[in-house]
Each structure stands twice: as C-alpha cells, then as structure tokens.
Amino acid sequence: MIQKPIADLLDAMGAQALPCIYNEPLDRHTTFKIGGPAAVFCKPRTVVELTKTLELCRRNGVRTYLLGNGSNTLFADEGFSGAVICLTDMKTQATAQTLPDGRTRLTASAGTLLVSVCNRALELDLTGLEFAFGIPGTVGGAVYMNAGAYGGEMKDVLDRVTFLDEDLKLRTLPAAELALGYRTSIFEKQPWCILEAELVLQPGNHEEIQAQMQDYMSRRREKQPLDMPSAGSTFKRPAGCFAGQLIEQCGLRGFSVGGAAVSQKHCGFVVNTGGATCADVVELTDKVRDIVKEKTGHVLEREIRVVR
C-alpha cells in the first residue's frame, strides 16, 4: 500500500527511529476487531522516536493517525494508506506530587491505560477518578475525547496537558484552555499529539474508593456487552435523553446489518457478532440514526471515530 520510496526512507532512519511494520492488519489493534491493513504501523517508545517519525512522515507527505488502545476507533475495510502511530508503548507508572493544599497531582503518559491510572489512584488513596475505572482507553484517548461515565468526566480532574503542536514543539496548556466539552476537546480540531496529562485528585478513603470502583465495574458487566467486540457507546447522548433508550423505543434491539448488530444487552452499543466489516457498522449506524430521527425527532451522532 505504501510507496516504496517512503518505506525506504523509514528503513533508512535505522537507530534514529523505531522499526515499522508494513501492511499491518488494524483489526488486531482495535476493540471492534475490524479494519484493513495500515500501510505503516509504528510503536514509538520515546518522545524522540515519536517526533522523528512524525517529522519524516510530514516531510514526505505520509498522512498519519495517532492510535491509543483502539477502543473508540473504526478503521475502514480498505485500511489506512499512511502511518498509524500507536502510543501504547509510551507508558510509565503514574507519578504523584503532593500540592500545598493537600491535593495530589498525578502525572501519566498518553499511552498508559486509564485503568492503570485508576489503580494507581487507589493505591495512593486518591479520589475523583473512580468514574473512569473500566473505561478501556488510554490516557491520551481519554483526554482527546474528554471521556466520562457515571456523571464524571476527565475535565473534572484534568489540570494540564503536555503535547507536540503542529510544529512538533513541546507545549503545555491548562485544562481551561483545551475546550473540553461533552466527548470533545481542542485536540479534535488541531494536529497535536498528546504526550502527558496531569490530574489533580483529592485524598480519600481507600475502602470507599475501592468500593466505588467495584460498583461501577459491576454495573458495566451487568449492563454492557463486554463479552463481544465493540467500540463502547456508539452514539453520543442527545440532549435530555439517552441514545440507548431511544434506539430501544424504536424497536431496534438486535437490529443488524451483516456481522454488525445493536446489542441485545444494551442498545447503546453496536457489536461485532463475527466477521463484521466497517461498511456493516457504518450502514447499521446510518439506518439506526435515520429510524430514530423519523420516529422520535432526535438526531443521533456517532461517538466512534470512523477512519478511512
């Protein structure tokens, strides 16, 4: 898929960059288990490796896509004709700093799984991040989309974010300047790469924090189709109601196109029942959106990112 001159350039970087895999199947790297091959698939381990790879791709007109745990991403069946840069090898244990007011700043790299940061908060008896326990994404992805659940959002605990800007310069901005809204942030509109997030958490009671996390996890297991490939909540929540309830009201539980189906367990999820394609998911979600609009007047917007 990728032009040979670009492959040669990437190979020629040798020790200056990381090894790249060519034509890597993307269904191996998303929770939906869907997607054709990436022309180039890279896993930088350091900021230097990441910066050099991004620089080379930009200089030679190779488009890039930054990937975390792939929990909110749907790649096209044709794959991605550029470089998918996966940040999950750029992870370290979250570090803690006690602030003068008694709170604690927890700093975590973008490629770290959010559940790992939640466990670190529990270990340190810090409260405020319980809502995120069980969200299957990385810290970078959670900041990118202002992830949330059970009444909490990343913006509630986020203090600062360090990133590479459009010129690949290192910058840090406070959360107040990141345009954090419902499942959105400034990172959706800028070609920036999140490197690190700083969260500020309150001291809490270990047993209470643990009980809250376990409660949220139990609710997820009870109500969500965690045993089937999906990308989590498929649609954003419309004002004043819930997408899953609207879909159920329209009689669409189990509604399917090819291998993609509205979950029997939770209508807010589209699941891969086996062999689903990106085209199946897109057609299904388009049909669900049209039916819900016709029957209820509400317009559903996909939360999952379709990458072509």
Distances (CA, A) of 290 to 126, 295, 306: 44, 9, 18
Domain 95-210 is found in CATH 3.50.50.60? no
Write down the catalytic residue from 233, 237, 263, 302: 233
Q: Which of 27-31, 46-50, 151-155, 183-187 has the lowest mean pLDDT?
A: 46-50
pLDDT of residue 173: 98
Average pLDDT of the residues in 86-105 = 94
Give the DSSP H or E segment for 65: strand 64-67
- Give me the pLDDT at residue 15, please: 39
Q: Is 109 a catalytic residue?
A: no
Place of tokens 């340190």: 124
pLDDT tens per residue across span 124-163: 999 999 999 999 999 999 999 999 999 999 999 999 999 9
Is residue 236 within 8 A of residue 265, CB to CB? The reply is no
Q: Which residue is associated with the tokens 């659940």?
A: 149
Tell me the fold of 4-86: 3.30.43
- Res 16 pLDDT > 60: no
pLDDT of residue 2: 47
CATH architecture of 226-307: Alpha-Beta Complex (3.90)
Banded model confidence at residue 1, pLDDT cuts 50, 70, 90: very low
What pLDDT is attached to residue 12?
A: 59
**Residues 120, 160, 183, 289: which is the catalytic one?**
183
Nearest Cα to Cα of residue 281 among 65, 73, 81, 135: 73
294 noted as active-site residue: no
**pLDDT bracket for residue 60 (50, 70, 90):** confident
Active-site choice (24, 49, 198, 303): 303
**pTM higher than 0.75, yes or no?**
yes
Closest CA to 194 of 108, 106, 92: 108
pLDDT at residue 142, rounded to an integer? 97
303 is catalytic: yes
Three-state secondary structure of 163-221: EECCCCCEEEEEHHHCCCECCECHHHCCCCEEEEEEEEEEECCHHHHHHHHHHHHHHHH
pLDDT band at 285 (very low <50, low <70, confident <90, very high): very high
Q: Where are the domains of the chain?
A: 4-86, 95-210, 226-307
